[in-house]
Every structure is written in C-alpha cells, then in structure tokens.
Structure 1
C-alpha cells in the first residue's frame, strides 16, 4: 500500500510544470546526477565515450516532454539534430531516443511530424537508429501514426511497447519486423487501459518478448530484473535465437555491474543515457518506479553541487 502511494505521489510530481520549470534553474539536484548524464552535449558525449570503452552501447535521450510552445519544440528539434551530429563526429555507438511531446505532439501532430522528419534526415545521413519513446496512453495512437509515416522513408526507426497495456500483444503482432523496445510501463493508466497487477504485468512482459523474438524481429529487452534476463537467455538458447537478434537495455546509473557482465558474456548491452536541463520529470518517474531511490534525493538535498 505504501509503495503504491509513493508511486502515485512521484508520478503526480513528474507532471508538475511549475516545479519542472524551477528545476531547470537548479542544475542536477536531488541526486539526479545519479541517473542523468549531464546538461550539455559535451557532458553526455564524455559519458557515452566512457560507456563505449567498457563495451556498452548506448541510446541517448535529450530530455524534454509536454512542450506547449512552438519555439521550445523547435529548440528541442535542433538539439536532437546536434546530438546526432556529435554522436557521428565522435564515432560513438549510440542510438537516439526521442519523446514526441518534446517536439510539439501536444501542439499539433503534423508540426511534430515535420520536426521529426528534419531529425530523420540527419540520422539518415549518419545511419543512426532513432527510437520514438512511448509516453502515456493519451499520446499512443499519435506516436504509432508518426512511426508509420517516418518508416516510409527510413527503416532505422522503432518505438516502445508497454507490457501493462491491454492492447500490447496485438500491437507487437502488428509491428512484427520493427525494432521494438519492450518495457513494463511507467505511467499511471486507468484499469480499462492497463493491467494493474504487477505479477500479471510481469507475465505479459515475458510473453511479449517471446512473441517478438519468435517473429524474427529485433527485440530490445529493457529490464533490470535478473530473473527476466535469465529467462530470456534460456528462451533464446532453447529456440536457437541468435544473440544478434536481441539486446538488453538498462538505464544509466542502474545495475552497472550487471550491465558490464552481460557485455562480457557477449550480449549487446545498451544503456539508456538521458541528459539536458529538463531532467525533473524523468527523475520523478525513476523515483516512482523504485521508491527506495528516494535516498538519492535525500543526499542531494545536502549536496553542495
């Protein structure tokens, strides 16, 4: 009960625009530097370089969401383009992850699509993969529409399917052949939209992994759960699925030793590396997922940095 209340509390904080606006002026406070790799492109490039040296691949996310002003969306678009150029310039093994509300999805779908097309042109030049992050269910259909439109001209684009959604299985089937990141889901959704019981979400998550792998599709398994990871390894061996058909993904700052272990075992291990001034919403969702991480925030309150 306490954990559910804590999750609800932090999820509500993640959407508080007043606090989020103030957080941009604070810098990486409240322990956010544990899970956010800096504010500038130079800072994140340094982190990506070090992760690559350890045999870890990356996907970088310039943080931002729920943008309401066109100018801010255009600025975010330009930052995404610059990030791609920096990845290419430094010869870094990294994808780019993008939240479409950062690019104006809530302002106008076609405006957002136009912004994404500009980003795709830069990605195409350098052959860098782009992941459209899935946000809350209110933006779900629009995200799938933009994915479909972009893939008409560039196939190195994928998205995310959340296992807690009732419709997840059908969407995985319809997206066979698309590089999908499979996650459990981190937003608060209504019971008619999403499964509420953790054990049932876990069960559905593994079913989706099996479904996508057996379709021959490239699958990104985003989990810090060693039991899930072990089950995936075993399933792949039993079904003669090559390690090159899937990868494991974890968040920057989480289970670092396990990340290195998987890389040494020959699996593709990709680290989701966020950066930028708009860190607040992302950090609150990390606290919602794992309330024990509140200790970061407590330490951050007394940090001089």
Structure 2
C-alpha cells in the first residue's frame, strides 16, 4: 500500500507534472505515449495495426474545471475521430467525463460527450467511457445510461476494487465492457484494499461477463490472469469474437505481439498528448510490478532523478505526519 500511495502521490504532484509536460520527450515520454499530436498518434496506430493489433485512443487530460478547457478537449477528440476515419485505421475512442466538463456542469458535459458519440456513430466508431474515482463513478454511469437511449456505439469500464462492481457489471451486461482492477486511491468504505481480494473479484467479474455479457475487454499485463482466461474460454467454448486482451502502449510489447499472433483479439490502449505524467504514475500505482516492465524502456537518468527527489519528499512527509 505504501508503494501505491507513493505513485498516487506522484501523480498529483503539480511541480513534477509541469516538469513532465515541459521536458516530456527528454524524460522518455515517447515510450509511454503514442505521440504528442494526432499525426504522430495515427502513425503509431498504423504500426500496431500492421501486427493485427487494434487501438483505443485516449486524449490525455482530466479533472478539468474551466469550460474552455473542456471544449478544447472535445474538439481535439472530434479531430481524432475524423483522423481515424480518414486514415482508415483500426481504432476507437476512450474518453474521461471529467476532461469534458463533469466537474463543471453535468448537462454541459453530457452535450460535449453526445457530440463526440454522435460523430463517432456516423463513422461506426466505438466510444468507451473511462471510469475515474468514486466521486465521479455514478455520474459517469448516468451519462452512459442516458446516452445509450439514442446510441449503441458506447461502453464503459468496470473497476474490480469497488464493492459495487458486480452490481454495475450485471446492470450493464449488454454493453461492451473493459474490466480493470482500478487505479485510484479509494477508501475502505467503498473499495477493497487487499490485493488478493481485488484479484479474486477481478477474475470473478471477467468470468461472469465472458459467460453472460456482450463483449469483454480484459485489461491486464498479468500473464497469470491471461493464462487463466485462455484456459477458461477454452473450457467454456467461448469464441474469440466475444473478447479481447488489452494492454497499455509501451508495456509488455512482446506479449502484445505474441497474443495477436496466437489469434486473440488484441487492443492497445494508446494515450497521446502532453499531459502524460499523472496517467503514467497511476498505472504504476495500479500495479507496481509495471515498474519492472518498463523501467529499461521508459526511465532515463533525468526521470530517475525526478522520482528520487519526489520519493524523498514523500517519505519525509510520511515521517513528519507520524511525529
């Protein structure tokens, strides 16, 4: 838990976030984001498509509190949809409601997302609603449920660490769902804190949706989970058309290629933009073992220096609180 708290603390550090935006490429950001602009990202998607890998594209940024920022994010996502269509690449959209105004005004946010979903629907492009922290959980489900009355190209994420995850899964079984463990720091009142309990619930949710749901995206870098799913779908005669594996751009590249070669549907989560730092730190908080997967690819001398300084500040803060 200390390591998870550490990375979540880093994700919220404004000084480091600002430095990461300014020096992103020098710090190795190109290894965890597919590009800083749409043109670079499309080229990255084309390269993945060559290997039989589809993509879901995330315009990085969240927790927006100004309408101008939310509108700019909406326009950027609309431009991504247009680029996906014009280039004929195999990709869809992942969006965060908080980036599109959820913390400003619910109806304003809904109109922004509706515009995105409508544009994507016109081109037959799927849109996934990424789930965030507990405070934004129910409003995000409300957005999904309301917009699904008129659109069938949307789905969402179920986070296994929430106590309510099983109920949410059952209520949304007819949606395309991405199942994850969860990457935010949540209280013991709403979420499991023990890794074994989270892992157990994660497998339970995956199996149930594979048997009863529309389409399941299994988002994990854990080869034990992947091997379990392989065996489960074989034993239960679940066709490949019912599910896919998902991993993050830059993580376990060889395994991504191997799964695609084996004939499994595979989708890479492709983030792009300058605001990569908080996203990446939460990925390490979600599963600290991810550090081992990317340390040689991502971390440069400068990155290690930044994290070392932050670690010292973090530990000093904890010691100060204890006193």
C-alpha distance in 2, partners of 1:267/1:300? 38
TM-score w.r.t. length of structure 2: 0.89
Structure 2 counterparts to residues 207-246 of structure 1, below 5 A: 207-246=204-243
Instruction: Give the corresponding residue for 2:301.
Output: 299
C-alpha distance in 2, partners of 1:208/1:254? 23
TM-score w.r.t. length of structure 1: 0.94
Instruction: Give the corresponding residue for 1:36.
Output: 33
Instruction: Give the corresponding residue for 2:253.
Output: 256
C-alpha distance in 2, partners of 1:297/1:6? 18
Give the drift of 1:82. 0.2
Instruction: Give the corresponding residue for 2:130.
Output: 133
C-alpha distance in 2, partners of 1:80/1:144? 20
Q: Deviations over 1:202-250 (max 9, x none)?
A: 1110100111111142100001111111111111111111110000000
C-alpha distance in 1, partners of 2:300/2:192? 32
Give the drift of 1:90. 0.6
Instruction: Give the corresponding residue for 1:96.
Output: 93
C-alpha distance in 2, partners of 1:142/1:17? 26
Contact 2:7/2:282 (8 A) holds in 1: yes
C-alpha distance in 1, partners of 2:270/2:189? 32
Q: Deviations over 1:2-33 (max 9, x none)?
A: xx323212212212345434533333343322
Of the candidates 47, 56, 60, which is equivalent to residue 59 of structure 1? 56
C-alpha distance in 1, partners of 2:283/2:28? 11
Worse overlay, 285-294 or 213-222: 285-294
Instruction: Give the corresponding residue for 2:150.
Output: 153
List runs of 5+ in structure 1 lacking aligned partners.
none
C-alpha distance in 1, partners of 2:108/2:149? 18
Q: Deviations over 1:86-140 (max 9, x none)?
A: 0111100011000111111111111110100111121011110000001111100
C-alpha distance in 2, partners of 1:300/1:248? 33
The secondary structure found in structure 1 opposite 2:57 is strand
The secondary structure found in structure 2 opposite 1:176 is coil
C-alpha distance in 1, partners of 2:275/2:223? 30
Q: What do you get for the CA RMSD once the two structures are aligned? A: 1.7
The secondary structure found in structure 2 opposite 1:159 is strand
C-alpha distance in 1, partners of 2:53/2:165? 29
Instruction: Give the corresponding residue for 1:174.
Output: 171
List runs of 5+ in structure 2 lacking aligned partners.
306-323
The secondary structure found in structure 2 opposite 1:48 is helix
C-alpha distance in 2, partners of 1:100/1:299? 35
C-alpha distance in 1, partners of 2:4/2:200? 21
Of the candidates 39, 50, 60, which is equivalent to residue 47 of structure 2? 50
